[in-house]
Amino acid sequence: MSVQKVLKRCLRKLSKEEFKEFVYQLLDREEHPKVHKKQVEGKDYIDVAKVMVSVFSKNKVLKVAVEILKEAKLNKQAKRLAAAAKKMLESRKTTKRTSEDEDEDGDEDEDEDEDEDEEEEEDDEEEEEEEEEEEEEEEEEEEEEEEEEKEEEEEEEEEDDDS
């Protein structure tokens, strides 16, 4: 999976307000290189991801994105993106070692395209599973919050009754 694709998936999962805050923090960033307002103003997550990759390079863009997510107080998303970046890096190291080993042997992998397709399918399946887990966690959190609110309301009603 490409760096840009990982970044796009992360940005796609942000709410409108979260995305707006992310873009604000991206523009407010003091380090160089900088993204200019005209590059991202009115753009969707796909265009913002493209701009970020072109400005920061494939090697640094995910690190920068994690920093920006943290600045925007989107820590859960920052952790997810950092984990995805780490996984991608480890996968690339493994792939690079395997390719180097094959080059030393003089063998070429004829099924390389098929392997990449299988890896993408596996990545997509893993992402779907992760999204389902995230949705379940969010639902559980919402249920807990609702229960807490009900308890607070009941306590307030009891206090009012006691008065």
Reported as a pLDDT band with limits 50, 70 and 90, residue 154 is: confident
Which is nearest to 52 in space by CA: 17, 16, 87, 3?
A: 3
Distance CA 18, CA 26 (A): 12
Q: What would the CATH number be for the domain defined by 1-105?
A: 1.10.533.10
Segment 11-38 mean pLDDT: 96
Specify the pLDDT at position 110.
Answer: 46
Reported as a pLDDT band with limits 50, 70 and 90, residue 135 is: low
Distance CA 154, CA 158 (A): 6
Q: For all residues of the chain together, what is the average pLDDT? A: 81
Specify the pLDDT at position 2.
Answer: 86
Segment 129-152 mean pLDDT: 71
Q: What is the pLDDT of residues 67-121, one digit of tens each?
A: 999 999 999 999 999 999 888 888 777 766 665 555 555 554 445 555 555 555 5
Helix H or strand E segment including 150: helix 112-162
Segment 135-148 mean pLDDT: 72
Do the Cβ atoms of 84 and 10 come closer than 8 Å? yes
pLDDT at 131 over 90: no
Specify the pLDDT at position 49.
Answer: 96
